[in-house]
Amino acid sequence: MSQLRITARDAVTGPVLEIIGELAYPHAAELTDRLLTTTLRPGQRLVLDLAGMDFCDSSGISALIAARNLAHAARADVALAAVPAHTLRILRVVGLDQIFAVHPDSDAATRP
């Protein structure tokens, strides 16, 4: 399994976390840990840019749900950007495409 790398940047709408590598067990908890140290204010949008994500298993899906829960606890929004086709299919099958805003890329996700 490849390592997971998470890079952060700020956008006008809020923080953007770029997920690179495999969002899978045993590295998926790294996303949750990173989220706990990410400043998110009410009304902002947390964007998870998945363009560099190679693979996502059930642990990764759980980490995405944790991101949504943390954003909502901060009274913020969450969006997924550049979701790979295989992951988007899984999100659709389990109905998570109904709770995540999905954008074609991070530029679209960070438009006010």
Query: Residue 2: is its pLDDT beyond 80?
Result: no
Residue range 8-52, pLDDT digits in tens: 999 999 999 999 999 999 899 999 999 999 999 999 999 999 999
Question: Residue with structure tokens 């890329």?
Answer: 105
Q: Give ∠ CA 66-67-73 in degrees, rounded to 5.
A: 85
Residue range 52-85, pLDDT digits in tens: 999 999 999 999 999 999 999 999 999 999 999 9
Q: What's the pLDDT score for residue 26?
A: 87
Query: Residue 1: is its pLDDT beyond 60?
Result: no
pTM for the full model?
0.95
Q: How many C-beta atoms lie closer than 10 Å to residue 81's C-beta?
A: 22
Q: What's the pLDDT score for residue 103?
A: 98
Ordered by where they begin, the domains of the chain are: 4-109 (3.30.750.24)
